Amino acid sequence: MTDQNDNKKNKYLKAVTIGATLFFAWCILLMWSWNVLAVDLFELPAAQFKHAFALCSVTMSMFCFLRISAKSRRHLSNED
């Protein structure tokens, strides 16, 4: 019984670690691409990591909200 719980905890921890790593990698990639393209080509101000983190957080929040909203609408339409 404890082996199954340990396996579930390990899988959850692995998924959270991979998700967090991908999220931070996405933030760094966004910051790098902004600083290369926008700053060099269009002479716009450079972005800091906190700006990229905030943009990624808002984007992920909106994606999750829209996804949950779509699921609830589907669920409500199936009840009719």
Residue-wise pLDDT tens digits, 41-50? 999 999 999 9
Task: Give this prediction's pTM.
Answer: 0.73
For residues 39 and 46, the answer to whether their CB atoms sit within 8 Å is yes
Structure letter (DSSP) for residue 35: I
Tell me which residue range forms the domain holding 35: 2-79
Residue ranges of the alpha helices (H) in 1-80?
2-34, 40-42, 49-79
Residue-wise pLDDT tens digits, 26-68? 999 999 999 999 999 999 999 999 999 999 999 999 988 888 7
In the chain, the number of structural domains is 1
For residues 52 and 31, the answer to whether their CB atoms sit within 8 Å is yes
